[in-house]
Amino acid sequence: MNPNETEDKCIEDNAEKHVYLQYILYKNLHISRALVMSVSDDNWHTVINTVSHIGRRFVPLMDRVLVEGYGGLATIPVRHISGDSTDLKGVLAKKIVEHQKRVKEFRSAYGPKVIGEITVDQVYGGMRGLKSLVTETSYLDPDEGIAFRGYSIPQIRKSLPKAAGGDEPLPEGLYWLLLTGEVPSAEQVKAVSKTLAEHADLPSHVVTMLNNFPSNLHPMSQFSAAITACNTESLFAKAYNEGVNKAIYWEHTFDDSLRLIAKLPTIAATIYRNLYRDGSSIGAIDTNKDWSANFTSMLGYNDPKFTELIRLYLAIHSDHEGGNVSAHATHLVGSALSDPYLSFAAGMNGLAGPLHGLANQEVLIWLTKLQKELGGEVSDDKLKEFVWKTLKSGQEVLIWLTKLQKELGGEVSDDKLKEFVWKTLKSGQVVPGYGHAVLRKTDPRYIVQREFSLKHLPDYPLFKLVSQIYKVVPPILLELGKVKNPWPNVDAHSGVILQYFGMKEMSYYTVLFGVSRALGVMSSLIWDRALGLPLERPKSMTTEGLQKLVGAT
């Protein structure tokens, strides 16, 4: 890589750190190209010390290159490295001005341009595949999986700041990235963590409400209700009622969103303690801890590995473009200028549905069922049979895993597992956690959870069963010939890891999902207001009207 290459050029995994620093010095500090190219490997520490007096905004980046090694910042475009300001709102404000201009020019030039067609099947089929929403924060590629502001899950896992001694990305860093499109420094993430901790306390009336919910009220119902009740704190609603200029709607949406994200772990932990820990206290918020560490502490877990899991979980579940139910519901309700608390509560009511956020719970139940039904060694044929049976009965992943465990028991041979799978499929059910509406490969979120499990729980029986299913099920689904994607998605794995660390309350898992999803949908809601997106109001048709439209009558 030469210093005169464009800013969009990415750093390859095998690029040497001094070559990257040459580029930074030449392009951003305007130091002579000849001088930069003449620096030897042995003198780079001297150069960095000198540069610290010239352009301090690049020092944290250089330090990260040196500390993390040659591949430490692999594949990160230079223009996407954040500056040194820890004022997230201020950084975002500059980005908004730039992007508003870009969108205005784009719409002026290409506004009438047709981008697709709509079929009758799409209208009846849940609008699947319609290009009808703008979501800036993430994009789901069918072949590559989710990309957060252009960065894949392996990239964000490698490049976002981590807690001291940790290996997993801090979700606060992903929040910065989703909002700004820039990879933050450790100091920037630390500032976000501190702000979240400072706003984590709940209004007294919300605490009273949570403590008086009946024990048979589902955790997601409690979660949604508490979020709604927090809207007494809405700065957006107050500003709107005072007639604030719509050009700064985004600022009040930002303020509300940050405070909402801060309070979600407190709400979620209070629900968990009330339902599963006899109402014991969640304890105090520590402003020196990161968002996930405070969350796991409030939940009552003190295992550093579990905290690392939650950091990973909250990062990878945060966003999945804008068409899924929770994201679209948040966007739709927000388009009516409902405040962020009300908008997010709507999204959480969508997430609570069994076709959206409940799947990871159903995976575990399915695995347990498999173990119980087949018992002992499980052959591939038996596993296939069980899969057929599941597919005909409509159960999901956790339910399926639970059933598999109960039916097969102990170590399961591939033949027994295949028999169980076929049994599932032949009964009209699906293999829970397999397939995806958009993806056509193994979900990258599944892969990173598998990597985490191989490192921290390689001998856990349920993980070994999940690994065995990963080997057995895709060929069966391909043989079946009725699925576009025979590979596992994120739900096929997440519940199993939570079980290992002792969180066995499956009805609670969707609450964790909801805490994570706030990072993505709140970022998008801020951008909705920044771009002045209008009230969403698509045109509906009757069947008779559609028939007339296509000449069927």
Q: Just list the catalytic residues.
A: 356, 436, 491
CA distances from 400 to 367, 395, 418, 478, 479 (A): 4, 6, 14, 20, 21
Listed residue (411, 410, 403) closest to 362, CA to CA:
403
Q: What is the DSSP letter of 30?
A: -
User: Cβ contacts of residue 60 below 8 Å, gap of 6+?
Assistant: 84, 185, 186, 187
Phi first, then psi: give them for residue 377, nearest 5 degrees: -70, 135
C-beta separation of 485 from 441 below 8 A:
yes
Give CA–CA dist 8/10, Å, rounded. 6
Pairing label, strands 151-152, 145-148 = antiparallel
Q: Is 153:444 a contact under the CB 8 Å cutoff?
A: yes
**Residues in Cβ contact with 521 at an 8 Å cutoff, skipping those fewer than 6 apart:** 319, 326, 327, 330, 331, 344, 347
Decide: 421 and 387 in contact? Cβ < 8 Å: yes
What is the identity of the amino acid at 333?
V
Alpha carbon distance 280, 126 (integer Å): 43
C-alpha–C-alpha distance, residues 362 and 214, integer Å: 24
- CA torsion 436-396-123-118 (nearest 10°) is 0
Residue 14 near residue 70 (C-beta atoms within 8 A) = yes
Residue with tokens 């997601």: 220
Map residue 221 onto helix, strand or coil.
Answer: helix
- Length of the chain in terms of residues written: 553
Residue pointed to by tokens 């990973």? 312
169 close to 312: Cβ distance less than 8 angstroms = yes
Rg (C-alpha) for the chain, rounded Å, is: 25
* Cα 71 from Cα 502, distance rounded (Å): 35
* Beta strands 151-152; 138-141: pairing state: unpaired
Strand partners, 148: 138, 151
